[in-house]
């Protein structure tokens, strides 16, 4: 099966695993993109010979231009967010795989769809923030939206029998529970960046790894599933499946449950998104259920992991609120990764936005970006205010200059 793809976010965890799939099946890579990882891009260019490469960070763009200067057969370089959009729109690739992290991927998703490309979507934030815009554009342009997120790929695979799919009653979206599963609020108070970055089953980029520790990832995935499969939030049940062997399941009208299983390896859902509706051999290890002896299931602890409930409340109220909650989380995780705020602050900031921000209908990308901007501004402001308040407790007012 020959295939030409454009891969956005090629230097990340999903990006590099996607290139593994391309390497194995001999797929042609038309375009690549990254934010600033110039060395990784240079290695990918030497191996895959893309025609176009987009680099969003201007200084990294200059470094890549200098490194490629005078090379014959070097790709044409595109710069900034405009360059990323230009690449997503280009004819030349049948499928655009969007593996950019964060809301930075929304514009590229919409552009790819509006340009008539099938979209293999790892960037869940596109659906969380702009679900309405993305699903409307998919319908309007008659393209395929193919989930790469493992749980959503699992659900999608379970729904391939069209007769059964019409009687879909409920989704069982599985969660690993993350590195802090079973811990109390008290135990979580002292958790550091290093603790949160140790995921038990998956090796992923830093942002989604932190989201897995807070259960924000499952909240984002609930919103993603609601948009992809057209079910309300109360028809999507989260089930902790500690071993990450059952990637999700669906329940039909007769209460039959169909699940998709496999070893935890993202190359299975990536490959299925690229080869849909066909299946091909994969380098991924076979799952031997007898090796496992038992699989364990639990309900999620929504009281301790408050980000999850915040996402539920956001999708229930709808409109721009999920974008605001996502924006607050992106800003909070960035601060946590810089070790400027604590683990508990992430949940507090996200819940505040979910519970106090107003919501408005989403009519354009600008509505989404405005909600995102306001939430980020709140996180930054709140962080600075807290620091002042903290100082007040420590330094008596009279001693302040």
Question: Does 37 interact with ligand NDP (rule: CB under 6 A)?
Answer: yes
* The binder of ligand NDP chosen from 11, 44, 214, 248 (CB under 6 A): 11
**Secondary structure of 240-251 as H, E, C letters:** EECCCCEEEEEE
Q: Which stretch binds ligand NDP (CB under 6 A): 6-14, 167-175, 237-245, 391-399?
A: 6-14
Q: Which stretch binds ligand NDP (CB under 6 A): 122-130, 244-252, 282-290, 343-351?
A: 122-130
Nearest distance in Å: CB 391, ligand NDP:
33
CA distances, 293 to each of 257, 262, 290 (Å): 21, 15, 5
Question: Does 100 interact with ligand NDP (rule: CB under 6 A)?
Answer: yes
Question: Does 36 interact with ligand NDP (rule: CB under 6 A)?
Answer: yes
Eight-state DSSP code of residue 234 = G
Question: Does 174 interact with ligand NDP (rule: CB under 6 A)?
Answer: no
* Sequence-distant (≥ 6) Cβ neighbours of residue 221 within 8 angstroms: 124, 149, 151, 152, 173
* The binder of ligand NDP chosen from 5, 113, 122, 236 (CB under 6 A): 122
Q: Which is nearer to ligand NDP, 7 or 158 (CB)?
A: 7
Residue matched to tokens 């932190």: 210
CA distances, 352 to each of 244, 279, 338, 340 (Å): 31, 44, 21, 19
Distance CA 391, CA 385 (A): 10
CB 323 within 8 A of CB 129: yes
Question: Does 92 interact with ligand NDP (rule: CB under 6 A)?
Answer: no
* The binder of ligand NDP chosen from 13, 157, 176, 241 (CB under 6 A): 13
Nearest distance in Å: CB 97, ligand NDP:
10
Q: Which is nearer to ligand NDP, 36 or 164 (CB)?
A: 36
282: tokens are: 């994969």
* Sequence-distant (≥ 6) Cβ neighbours of residue 337 within 8 angstroms: 193, 206, 207, 210
CB 261 within 8 A of CB 244: no
Instruction: Give burial (CB, 10 Å; 0-12/13-18/19+) of 346.
Output: buried
Considering only residues 236 to 275 of the shown chain, the ones binding ligand NDP according to CB under 6 A are 266
Nearest distance in Å: CB 15, ligand NDP:
5
CB 76 within 8 A of CB 64: no
Helix, strand or coil for residue 171? Answer: strand
Q: Which is nearer to ligand NDP, 78 or 100 (CB)?
A: 100
Q: Which stretch binds ligand NDP (CB under 6 A): 33-41, 109-117, 301-309, 349-357?
A: 33-41
Decide which of Mg ion, ligand NDP, none touches 268; Cβ closer than 5 to 8 Å per partner kind: none
Question: Does 104 interact with ligand NDP (rule: CB under 6 A)?
Answer: yes
113: tokens are: 């769809």
Decide which of ligand NDP, Mg ion, none touches 331; Cβ closer than 5 to 8 Å per partner kind: none
Q: Which residues bind Mg ion (CB under 5 A)?
A: 149-151
Looking at beta carbons, which residue is closest to ligand NDP?
12
β partners of residue 29: 5
Instruction: Give burial (CB, 10 Å; 0-12/13-18/19+) of 135.
Output: middle
Nearest distance in Å: CB 263, ligand NDP:
13
| Residues making contact with ligand NDP (CB under 6 A) | 9-15, 34-37, 56, 84, 99-101, 104, 122-125, 149, 202, 204-205, 207-208, 266
């Amino acid at each position: 099966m020959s295939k030409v793809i454009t891969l956005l976010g090629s230097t990340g965890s999903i990006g590099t695993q996607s290139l593994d799939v391309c390497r194995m099946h001999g797929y042609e890579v038309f375009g690549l993109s990254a934010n600033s990882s110039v060395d990784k891009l240079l290695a990918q260019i030497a191996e895959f010979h893309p025609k176009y490469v987009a680099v969003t960070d201007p200084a990294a763009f200059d470094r890549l231009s200098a490194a490629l200067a005078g090379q014959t057969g070097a790709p044409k370089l595109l710069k900034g967010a405009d360059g990323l959009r230009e690449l997503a729109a280009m004819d030349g690739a049948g499928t655009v795989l969007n593996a950019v992290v964060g809301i930075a991927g929304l514009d590229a998703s919409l552009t790819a769809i509006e340009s008539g490309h099938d979209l293999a979507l790892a960037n869940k934030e596109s659906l969380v923030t702009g679900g309405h815009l993305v699903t409307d554009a998919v319908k309007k342009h008659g393209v395929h939206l193919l989930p790469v997120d493992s749980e959503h790929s699992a659900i999608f695979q379970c729904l391939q029998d069209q007769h059964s799919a019409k009687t879909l009653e409920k989704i069982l979206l599985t969660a690993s529970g993350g590195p802090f599963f079973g811990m109390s609020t008290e135990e979580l108070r002292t958790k550091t960046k290093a603790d949160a970055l140790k995921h038990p089953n998956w090796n992923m980029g830093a942002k989604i790894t932190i989201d897995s520790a807070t259960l924000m990832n499952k909240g984002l995935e609930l919103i993603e599933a609601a948009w992809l499969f057209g079910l309300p939030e109360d028809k999507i049940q989260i089930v902790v499946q500690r071993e990450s062997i059952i990637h999700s399941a669906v329940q039909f009208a007769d209460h039959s449950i169909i699940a998709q299983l496999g070893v935890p390896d993202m190359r299975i859902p990536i490959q299925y998104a690229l080869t849909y509706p066909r299946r091909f051999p994969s380098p991924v290890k076979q799952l031997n259920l007898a090796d496992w002896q038992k699989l364990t299931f639990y309900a999620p602890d929504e009281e301790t992991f408050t980000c999850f409930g915040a996402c539920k409340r956001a999708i229930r109220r709808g409109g721009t609120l999920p974008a605001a909650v996502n924006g607050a989380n992106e800003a909070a995780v960035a601060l946590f990764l810089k070790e400027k705020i604590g683990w508990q602050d992430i949940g507090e900031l996200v819940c505040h936005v979910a519970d106090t921000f107003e919501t408005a209908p989403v009519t354009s990308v600008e509505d989404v970006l405005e909600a995102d901007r306001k939430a980020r501004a709140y996180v930054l402001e709140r962080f600075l205010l807290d620091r002042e308040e903290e100082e007040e407790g420590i330094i008596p007012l009279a001693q302040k200059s």
